[in-house]
Amino acid sequence: GDFSFATACLLANRKYGKNTQRDDIKSHQYIISFDPRDAADNGLTMEKAQALGLKFCSENFPGHPAIVCTHPDGHNHSGNIHVHIVIGSTRTREVERKPYMQKPRDWREGMKHSSTAQTMRHLRVEVMELCEGAGLYQIDLLNGSKERVSEAEYWARRRGQQKLDLANAAFAAAGQPPQQKKFETVKDILRKQISSVLYRATSFEDFSDRLLQQYGIAVKESRGRLSYLPSGRTKFIRAKHLGDKFDKAAVLATLQANAERKPKSQFKQDTIGKLIDIQSKMTEGKGIGYQRWLTKHNLKVMAQTVKLLQEKGLTDEDALNQRITELETKYHDSLAVVKDLEGRMKANKELRYQVAAYTSTKNITQQLKTAKRPAAFEEQHRAELTAYRVAAAYFKANNTTKLPSPKKLEAEYAQLASEKAKFYEQYKESKEELLKLKTAKQNVASFFREEEQTQQER
């Protein structure tokens, strides 16, 4: 237009009496971030991105003063071209009403722009179509992210990687290979561990058992949502903070798909089924054929139940209840021991890492004391000295006055792993038997309750 962006916004606000207060929303910013691969693979340039941004702005923000700027990269040096679109919040003319516009303020002259849920959905669709039309890479902006990374986690990754790079430089200077090249947050590790189990498990029980056995991760469900407790932590991490692929619906869908792919012959044959309430099922309008199938199913289940109780010598109700109580105690006690051992294994691993860092950089630290130019020496060996000081601070915080030998720590870790495996087997066995006996108890109660109803009807 004939005015600068700032002047156009000022004139619009004066004309319609908008944005007169300090806290009024005077502008809105939208960013279109293109895939880093688009430049090399699809010929995206700064000029093309700017043209796409101008097109998007004119089609989606008509009537608003606007400025469009394109950048070749961001602060994280990811290499992605991105476009900033900033619009004045006051609309200077009435525009054509679109399907997503709900109220007159969305198209009337002199009204302010509003980022409603409908507006945001429309803009996401427009971005996807813009990329598709230009032959660029695109992602699904309408559905959630399979792996969700918060801003706090993003910066934690960057800080962690910087520290890791310094530590690795110290190892390299000492002629030792780095133990880890890529820094991973607690959530990164948790995502990887859950994923490795998720694509092999065939039921939720199998899923939770594998997580605990392999990684010491506990999983719980509350109000239809899943949360995960990594080894060494006291607070659960909700699935929504990890990504949509880890929530209940996605997990159950994956487990079901896994079960359908797995041959039926691999399922356990010694499980106890549950009785089905025939009366309630028949009220749903099921036919006589279905009733016969239910009757046969329940007879088979009761035969399994009686056989189990006889084999265990638990046909007496008091004896059954006592055994269930014993198993519950054993289940919770063994689980607590497993979690404790996992925490000690993690502490052992951290101590081994710090001992290695300390011993490999100690010589450099001693050389600093006799260096003729300490400042220059410190700058030259910053990575090694940093690793040494981090390790020393760790020992001080943990009251470690005498460094244990690496061999002793490795032997201790092996012993802890052996104990963990033993107690995990106890946990697994007690849980398996506990579930069977609880199901058997429920089946017996359901059977006699159904018998009572039948006799009353007679």
pLDDT tens by residue, 103-138: 999 999 999 999 988 899 899 889 988 988 898 877
Per cent of the chain over pLDDT 90 is: 36
Within 8 A by CB and 6+ apart from 43, the residues are none
Q: Whole-number mean pLDDT of the chain?
A: 86
pTM as predicted:
0.41
Model confidence at 260, pLDDT cuts 50, 70, 90, reads confident
Predicted confidence at residue 273, as pLDDT, reads 80
Higher pLDDT, 371 or 454: 371
Residue 430 tokens read as 């007690």
Predicted confidence at residue 264, as pLDDT, reads 44
Q: Flag the least confident range among 52-61, 144-153, 159-168, 247-256.
A: 144-153
Predicted confidence at residue 265, as pLDDT, reads 40
Higher pLDDT, 351 or 270: 351
61-76 per-position pLDDT tens digit: 999 999 999 988 755 4
Phi, psi of 131 (to 5 degrees): -65, -40
Q: In the block, which residue shows the tokens 């030998």? A: 405
Model confidence at 319, pLDDT cuts 50, 70, 90, reads very high
Within 8 A by CB and 6+ apart from 446, the residues are 275, 277
289-301 per-position pLDDT tens digit: 667 777 888 888 8
409-423 per-position pLDDT tens digit: 888 988 898 898 889
